[in-house]
Structure 1
Amino acid sequence: MVKDVNFLVEDLVAKLKRRQITGSYTIALETAKLLRQIISVTRWSTAGALIDRIKQEGCRLVAAQPKDVVVANIVRRVLHIIREVYTENRDAVDEDDGTILAAAPVAPQALLQPQQPSFSIHSSMFPLLGDHADLPADYTRPVHNLKSEIIQEIQEYIEELENMYSNVSSQAMDHIHSNEVIMTCGYSKTVESFLKFAAKKRKFKVIVAECAPTFQGHQTALALTAAGIDTTVIPDASVFAMMARVNKVILGTSAILANGGLIALSGTQTMVEAAKHHSIPVIVCAGLFKLSPVFPFDEESLSTEVSPDSVLDFTKGHFISEVEVINPFSSYVDPSFIDLFITNLGGHPPSYLYRLLNENYDAEDTYLLKS
């Protein structure tokens, strides 16, 4: 059985390295299903042993695509679910045993005597600021039915991932109004479904930047036109000139970092800077699984560069030898340009992201490869 699990892990690692699986949504779903399988078929007796196993396999998956934060996010979320389920079941067992609710008896004469105030040795403001996160948790205690409840919670999380597009799209009517002009760039399945849902009851226009040299904007334009949406494709150089006619900018992203910054398609930074110059609101549509607890300490390391063949093909060897061609595919976008994030759990301003991070991840899982 363990051999079968190792085979499944190696299979997904190979697909990630060879980019046989593309798209953040598909990668997230495959990773979550694999981790559910590992929890289901492997032998473990305590939550601590399971956490160690998930970290071990998670590090192998993250190492396959270290720049793709989605894989790490799913691993962190599953670890959070394990800890959460264990804590709830452990507290329930303690309450049933009376270890929490039991109180020491008080002598009747003591009630008649004036009591001196007592102070805990931990009396400080620390309890107001956290839940003793620095104290190590004990995950070695066996808990009844822990495996079944963890699998059930992960299954619910997988269902949440599967319904991500519909949950994001259902909020479109609150943000897109009739006769508006929307601008976007590149291709995002989330943005496509968001705009298509709004087009069922609203009539609006969409301007799409083509995002050369990949020209993903053409794919977006074809999909929106097929849905009956008035769509115009413009070259990237015309973004600033057309921005004055736009009501709002709606974008997709590969990842949302802890400070609210984005790892998005190359060309996104240019569009959001033009939007800020014209005071146009920028909305980012993304599933919550793209939210990462990692801060962009090194912004340059977050950008991805691909072969320059699409810009300057290798047949012009005499010219290429004289120049250095850089073809960025994705890059970092500063959070100061973003006004609103729309996730499958609702709309959130950038200042609210820290709450979402606390609710979905544990701080000790932030850097998986260093664990």
Structure 2
Amino acid sequence: MSKNNELVDDLVAKLKRRQLVGSSTVAQATLKLLIVVISKNNWTTCNQLVTLVKSVGRRLVQANPTELAVGNIIRRVLHVIREEFREAESIASHMDQNETHSAPLTTSSSMYNLLGETGSTPAEKNVQYPSSLRSNIIQEIREIKDELENIYENIKNQASLQIHSNEIIMTVGRSKTVEEFLKMAAVKRKFQVLVAESAPSYSGQEMALELSKAGIETTVIPDSAVFAVMSRVNKVILGTHAVLANGGLVAISGTHMMAAAAKHHSIPVVVCTGLYKLSPLYPYDEDSFNVTFNPDSVLGFEEGDLIEKVTVTNPYYDYVSPDFVNLFITNQGGHPPSYLYRLIVENYDPNDHTFDL
């Protein structure tokens, strides 16, 4: 257990210090840790395992609340655990009914015992479940890990259906998912890309460089020019840091401005994202999902007297309303914002939307 604690402490420290950032990176690190935690700890009931995973998840989420992918992965794993225990309970109930003809074990009593609701162990109530339950859960988690590793492949394969020849595409900043999406589209289509530079990080310049290396005609534009050139654009393709339950986005600063300009000009907005970024949380307080960086890159100390007269904030993310999004391209296909609630139901258990015990 001490070794497990060391691994948890190490990941918590990296999240707090922002040594580990980015949805994909933190999601994979979280899955790797959970595999060890579930494999090495002793547990016999669903409640015991759920409590263990939630306790780890709570620490990770509190370490960096803006990395929503951590909580999403914890919830996905909890959903897998509950499903595997339900299946094991069904098998155990069926076996008991076959073995005890005179007094068959009811489904409800068997389930409550297996899920740990009564506080009794399976042995105490003669409830048996497959000895492979632990390995089944680990295998399901590994499948989630494989899903993460194939995210880009599954999303970019839909590129040729969304981008047509001679179109002008606009995007903002640098998103690995969007980058792979556009590169795949360029294999069969010839189009132009306008990239907003996303000051003060200027990650859009990096994006433009990578796209140009792939032979895509790319132009970098200042953020202030987005509205002016939007009328020439055929489609806006965006990446995102997280997708909230209402279909809203937590995306790099500048995304809201671009999405609003697109809506004004009736330009479709397409968001490329893996389902692991889909969170069951609602934006009751939009600022709680943001993080502010050093304002020196916006207004440096060399400005002298001006610094004392103004307050400068440098938010890293924007909240984008679902009204600005037309389509989500995920690793499981394309979905409108109104369909996201179905994906949340399929991937998360309502009991796990928060980590309160």
TM-score (norm 1): 0.88
**Residue aligning to 1:50:** 49
Instruction: Flag the 1:96–1:138 CA change in 2: closer, same or farther, 3 A.
Output: closer
Match of 1:345 among 329, 332, 338: 332
Output the CA distance in 2 between the equivalents of 1:66 and 1:216: 23
Instruction: Tell me the equivalent position of 1:59.
Output: 58
**Letter of the structure 1 residue corresponding to residue 198 of structure 2:** C
Q: What does the per-residue CA deviation read over 1:167-203, in whole Å, with 9 as the maximum and x for residues that have no partner? A: 1111111111111110000110000000011111111
Tell me if the contact between 1:341 and 1:349 (Cα under 8 Å) persists in the aligned partners.
yes
CA contact (8 A) 2:328 2:335 kept: yes
Separation of aligned partners in 1, 2:7 and 2:287: 33
From 142, 161, 164, the counterpart of 1:174: 161
What secondary structure, in the 3-state scheme, does the structure 1 residue paired with 2:169 have? Answer: strand
2:22 aligned with 1:31:
no
Measured on the aligned residues, the alpha-carbon RMSD in Å equals: 1.9
Q: How many pairs are equivalent? A: 338
Aligned to 2:299: 312
* Whole-angstrom distance in 2 between the partners of 1:84 and 1:195: 37
Match of 1:237 among 224, 227, 230: 224
Task: Name 2:84's counterpart in structure 1.
Answer: 85
> Moved runs in structure 1, 4+ residues, more than 4 A?
135-138
Secondary structure in structure 2 of the residue aligned to 1:178: coil
State how far apart, in whole Å, the 2-side matches of 1:336 and 1:276 are: 9
Contact 2:166 2:192 in 1 (8 A): yes
Please show how residues 1-371 of structure 1 align to structure 2 within 5 Å. 2-98=1-97, 139-140=115-116, 142=122, 143-144=129-130, 145-368=132-355, 370-371=356-357
Q: How far apart, CA to CA, are the structure 2 residues paired with 1:199 and 1:339?
A: 22
**Closer, same or farther in 2 for the Cα pair 1:251/1:136, shift >3 Å?**
farther
C-alpha distance in structure 2 between counterparts of 1:270 and 1:138, whole Å:
52
- Give per-residue Cα distances to partners, 1:241-298, cap 9 Å, x unaligned: 1111111100000000000000011111110111111111000001100000001111
Q: Does the CA-based 8 Å contact 2:89-2:114 persist in structure 1?
A: no
Identical columns (%) = 56
Change (3 A) 1:180 1:146: same
- Letter matched to residue 183 of structure 1: M
- Which letter does structure 2 place at the counterpart of 1:259? N
How big is each residue's C-alpha offset from its partner over 1:281-326, in whole Å with a ceiling of 9 and x where there is no partner?
Answer: 0000011000000011112322322110101112334321221111
Indicate the structure (1 or 2) with the bigger Cα radius of gyration.
1
Alpha-carbon distance, 1:93 to partner: 2.3
Deviations 1:194-215 (A, max 9, x none): 0011111111110000111111
Cα displacement (A) at 1:68: 1.7
Amino acid at match of 2:195: V
Letter in 1 for 2:41: T
Report if the CA contact (8 A) 2:46-2:114 is conserved: no
TM-score (norm 2): 0.91
Distance verdict in 2 for CA 1:186–1:300, change over 3 Å: same
1:34 alignment partner AA: L
Q: CA deviation at 1:157?
A: 0.8
- Please state how far the C-alpha of 1:136 moved relative to its aligned partner: 8.3
Partner Cα distance (1:159, 1:352) in 2: 24
Give the C-alpha shift of residue 97 in structure 1: 3.2
- Post-superposition Cα deviations, 1:91-110, rounded to whole Å, max 9, x if no partner, equal 122233338xx9x9xxxxxx
Does structure 2 retain, via aligned residues, the 8 Å contact 1:304–1:331?
Answer: no
1:66-89: CA deviations, max 9, x gaps? 122111111111000000111112
**Uncovered stretches (5+) of structure 2, i.e. residues with no partner:** 104-110, 123-128
Cα deviations by residue, 1:140-174 (Å, 9 ceiling, x for unpaired): 26422210100011011101111111111111111
CA contact (8 A) 2:174 2:207 kept: yes
How far apart, CA to CA, are the structure 2 residues paired with 1:317 and 1:58?
45
Q: Say which SS state the counterpart of residue 315 (structure 1) adopts.
A: helix
In the alignment, the residues of structure 2 paired with residue 315 and residue 241 of structure 1 have an alpha-carbon distance, to the nearest angstrom, of 31
**Partner Cα distance (2:289, 2:51) in 1:** 28
> Any idea what SS the aligned residue of 2:328 has?
strand
1:136–1:260 distance in 2 versus 1, CA, 3 Å: farther
Deviates more, 1:337-346 or 1:139-148: 139-148
